[in-house]
Amino acid sequence: MKILKIAAALAVAGLLAALGMVYSGAYPIGADVPHTRAVFWALETLRERSIAQRTQDIEVPNLDSSDLLLAGGPDYNEMCAGCHLKPGKTSSEISKGLYPAPPNLAIAPSEDGDAKASAARQFWIIKHGIKASGMAAWGPTHDDARIWAMVAFLQKLPTLTPAQYQILTARSGSEMDHDDMDEDAAPASDAHDGHDEHAPMDMPGMAHAAETPGARSAQDAVNAFTTALKTGDAAGAALWLAPDVVIYEGGEVERSRSEYQAHHLAADIAFMKTSEIQILKRDGGESGDTAWVNTETRVRGKSSKGRDIDLLSTETALLRRTAQGWRIVHLHWSSSDYPPGS
Ligand code: HEC
């Protein structure tokens, strides 16, 4: 009995002390003074327990498609990068001043837990925000599909170079208005060649983000193809190629999409993934249902034998307008040492 009484008295004293602390105004609320250890622990534990409780039943859709990346990238760049940074940027005025500090989402988290759990957690945090921090709830203004597209982008973000980030987050003028994106901008489902696990429309409530920005113009289709190669998304890359595409690469010829998929595609992905690509010059044009996009890039990386390479690479892409949007019907790649004439 005595022990119970002492415990009760201690609890009351503790409560009063806490109330006194709150009411006295002694605790520093300024964002430029960190929390005490006890308060930090309490808030951190509260946040993590609360989020864990609420993410248990979230079903993570298939996030592995270049269309999602291309939909989530521009949103991230416009709404999030100011606080959460991007490849090549380690702080911003706001990221330095906020407390708790926004984590740098362009670097991989230290604990590499399970990807599904991390995606569900990110989805929940983006949708609902976190009280008493700079993290807003984006749910009231963005539907689930758009939030999942940002999650898809976040999962790839730590692996992107500054140049890749630039490609993935570019928004072309015509798709600024998300609400009137038309259906036929989405890649054809008949172009999947059995790679249905990468189908852009395979998630519930996904219609919005699946209306891919990638096919708005011939240049967007070329960008989406390049991005898929850079992010290792073989099926995503194939979506942008017409079945009868002809590819000239370093003097070799591939006469169909399936031939390319069976041969050079994997090597191109391996090469693109590890190299840095900088677009130096691009132009193109359009006539009826045909378009061309000419691109000069500087490519730096390692050859398959580990030799440093620095190349001027030229690409001619010829595209055809289909019911599903622009598709590449011819690609011609060649390269020489950079700078030209060296
Ligand atoms: C005004 C600054 C600010 C903006 C803008 C912002 N966030 Fe945050 N975000 C924060 C802060 C601060 C935290 C940390 C909150 C905490 O630890 O309690 C956070 C936390 C997060 C987390 C959890 C990270 C982790 O692993 O703990 C994710 C995910 C996230 N934000 C995504 C986004 C996305 C996506 C956007 C854009 C739609 C965005 N944020 C916009 C400030 C911001």
Q: Per residue in 2-24, pLDDT tens?
A: 889 999 999 999 999 989 989 99
Q: Is the CB of 72 under 6 A from ligand 1?
A: no
Query: Ligand 1: does its nearest atom lie under 6 Å from the Cβ of 80?
Result: yes
- What is the domain count for the chain? 2
Domain boundary among 171, 201, 226: 171
d(CA 292, CA 183): 23
Burial-class residue 5 by CB neighbours within 10 Å (0-12, 13-18, 19+).
exposed
Q: From CA 132, how far away is CA 264, in angstroms rounded? A: 51
Question: Within this chain, do residues 232 and 106 fall inside the same structural domain, yes or no?
Answer: no
Rounded Cα distance between 164 and 170, Å, is: 10
- 227 with 340, same domain? yes
Residue 67 has pLDDT above 60, yes or no: yes
Residue range 300-329: mean pLDDT, rounded: 87
Residues 247, 322: one domain?
A: yes
Cα–ligand 1 centroid distance for 102 (angstroms): 6
One domain, residues 165 and 262: no
Share of the chain above pLDDT 70, in %: 86
> What pLDDT score does 179 carry?
38
Q: Which atom of ligand 1 is nearest to the CA of 151?
A: 35
Answer whether residue 10 is part of any domain: no
The 10 Å Cβ neighbour count of residue 123 is 23
Sole residue written with tokens 């929390």: 35
Same domain assignment for residues 250 and 333: yes
pLDDT in tens, 115-166: 888 999 999 999 999 999 999 999 999 999 999 999 999 999 988 888 888 8
Domain holding 141, by residue range, is 37-171
Domain boundary among 115, 138, 171: 171
CA of 163 to the centre of ligand 1 (A): 23
The model carries a pTM of 0.59
pLDDT reported for residue 111: 65
Report which ligand 1 atom has the smallest distance to the Cα of 43: 18
